[in-house]
Chains A and B, each alone.
Chain A
């Protein structure tokens, strides 16, 4: 009995010592995770651009003395576009690395696979790339929703793209084609709903496998349905294959798509001629102002072939908003940071000056009003304007 008590005491002493020894090391750094596809899917280029924007923001924070006097450390994880890998990264970052927040992911399907993890563990997440509408709304009715976003949310992009399609299509014959991932299917759902707000029914709705190389059969059905406008909801490689199939079947309707087409894969796979055929939504360009120019130059040092600058800017702004919230909360405690995020104001980002970007009811930092249409011209993406875009009024931007 005596022996047992002694060993208990020894154990308690050792663990107290260990805790004491470990505590200062933990208190030193504020760890923020970055989890997104940087290698596999068509969204990888967006993920790599986001990663360097994320690292640039952390560099800037540390130059300015860190957050709450503590150094900020970024932990990069690649989820290779696979939901199981993405889930594994999230648990590893939160449970093993004890990150205080996560920036990511790039693919909406992956976000939807792990939303419940940060929500249950009270770890704020700012999504810098993935655009699936449901990401920020699934837990909107919970007392605290830990999912925030600085990106081109699908619903808002769809709002712009559909408004343009409805104005531009002569017979109001609009078709939708999307890939079979969560991203494509979410886009199809949003587009169908927003078309309904304009009192338009899509004449055809088709889908294709994300790695398919031939969509001629789907396009044949869309053409037979008489569509003069096609909305493609897919990442760049899938969209490029649809464009190629359009060329094969010699069917060239007005074609609209997602901001994923910023990826340089689009002109590489579809060819320069077909790449210029599609009009899509975008959030910012690197020539917007001196800050964006400087950030683009920094990102290019690590990622020379950057064409998806918007993601770098969005990831940069995500980190800055998070830092502002931690400063305001005065702690890294998830619950308090979440509450602070809903109340921050006056944060200068790359894309704009964020004045109360988030509220209890809206966790979207960017909206349809921040977006414009763009199109490839040779090796770069330029802003797209015509009579239809000029005629668009705020009332047209239904969502």
Chain B
């Protein structure tokens, strides 16, 4: 029983990260029908920028070593703001260099260009921060918390809480605010939205800013658990993309659900047979694609000719 709860807790924490990155896929897909396939590399840069920001706040060089006492909650929040700003700017750069030139054209040039952009920033990160993984002590300490016998790291709870807060905030913004409604209008039909006086290019840029910031936030949150490493992005992004497919790429709530679902399935299957984890996830994806191609919560759009 305890091990079941343990698996559930562990799965939720990882699922939160998957969900955040999946949301990033969703928001650009809805507004531009394109995805940033370099999302994993954005997460890597987010993690490194976060570590460096904390180092700078602590008065050290950007590639120094963090001691647990260097990472205070205030510095961590400060680094969160820095990370979101830097990644948001990277999102703008991505849009203008790798998406806009191909926007509206037939073909899949943007797939290659976003992958390429990701590889460029990954190697830039390698040049700046060097090869070794950077450890980031958790701002909330390293002592295991016990919940009904199951142990969980404080950072894992932070990840879970933070991702839920961000997801709810994003959901409310999309549904209740004027700008959120504008995003949804562009998602529905950009030409109709333009006719209604919505500044479509600005909304599209905003979508890339939000998407990249979410990846950065994911990096910041996961760095204390995995360390910041240049090569950690691909697996996470692939899982997040799977989460988006399972939950429904065009539905933000579906992406969140998909993230948590994948995290929990991974942990529970691991309890039974660790080597079946990846297999079970990709079998699930194939099943979803066959039975409900739009994803669990996705809507099927009927193209009228």
Interface residues of A (CB under 8 A from B): 38-40, 44-45, 48, 78, 80-81, 180, 206-209, 211, 213-214, 216-218, 220-221, 224, 237, 244, 247-250, 265, 268-269, 271, 305
Subset of 23 A-B contacts with CB under 8 Å: A39-B130, A45-B132, A206-B274, A209-B277, A209-B278, A211-B232, A216-B3, A216-B6, A216-B151, A217-B3, A217-B271, A217-B274, A218-B274, A221-B271, A247-B144, A248-B150, A248-B151, A249-B150, A250-B146, A265-B135, A269-B135, A271-B142, A305-B65
- Please tell me if the beta carbons of B231 and A40 are within 8 angstroms of each other in the complex: yes
Complexed CA–CA distance, A220 and B271 (Å):
8
Give Cα distance in the complex from A45 to B65, angstroms. Answer: 15
Q: 13 extra interchain contacts, Cβ-Cβ under 8 A, other than A39-B231, A48-B132, A206-B274? A: A39-B131, A44-B132, A78-B131, A209-B274, A209-B278, A214-B14, A217-B7, A218-B274, A220-B2, A237-B133, A248-B10, A248-B152, A249-B3
Distance between B299 CB and nearest chain A CB, rounded to angstroms:
34
On whether the beta carbons of B131 and A248 are closer than 8 Å, the reply is no
Task: Name B231's closest neighbour in chain A (CB-CB).
Answer: A40
Least CB separation from B151: chain A residue: A248
Q: Contact at B135–A213, with CB atoms within 8 Å?
A: no
Contact A237 B132 (CB under 8 A): no
The reply to whether the CB of B69 lies closer than 8 angstroms to some CB of chain A is: no
* Residue numbers in A under 8 Å from B132 (CB-CB): 39, 44-45, 48, 305
State which residues 254-290 of B face A: CB under 8 Å.
267-268, 270-272, 274-275, 277-278
Interface string of B211-250 (1 = CB under 8 A from A): 0000000000000011101111001000000000000000
Q: Choose from B130, B151, B232, B272 the contact partner of A249 (Cβ within 8 Å).
A: B151
B153 at the interface (CB under 8 A from A): yes
Residues of B103-141 at the interface with A, using a CB-CB cut-off of 8 Å, are 126, 130-133, 135
Interface hub of B126, B267, B274 (most chain A Cβ within 10 A): B274
User: What is the chain A residue whose CB lies nearest that of B6?
Assistant: A216
Do B225 and A213 have beta carbons less than 8 Å apart?
A: yes
Q: Are B126 and A39 in contact (CB under 8 A)?
A: yes
The 10 closest A-B pairs by CB, nearest first: A39-B131, A248-B151, A268-B135, A220-B3, A217-B271, A217-B270, A214-B10, A216-B6, A40-B231, A271-B142
Instruction: Check A214 against B126 for contact (C-beta < 8 Å).
Output: no
Q: What is the interface size of chain B, counting residues whose CB is below 8 A from a CB of the partner?
A: 37
Q: How far is the CA of A80 from the CA of B2 in the complex (A)?
A: 39
In the complex, chain A residues whose CB is within 8 Å of the CB of B126: 39
* A81→B277 CA distance, assembly (Å): 23
Residues of A within 8 A of B2 (CB): 220
B residues near A269, Cβ cutoff 8 Å: 135, 227
Residue of B nearest to A214 (CB): B10
In contact, A211 and B235 (Cβ under 8 angstroms): yes
Q: Which residues of B contact A271 (CB under 8 A)?
A: 142
A248 to B267, CA, bound (A): 15
Bound-complex Cα distance A217 to B275 (A): 12
Determine the distance from Cα of A249 to Cα of B231 in the docked complex, in whole angstroms.
28
A35 to B288, CA, bound (A): 43
A40 touching B151 by the CB < 8 A rule? no
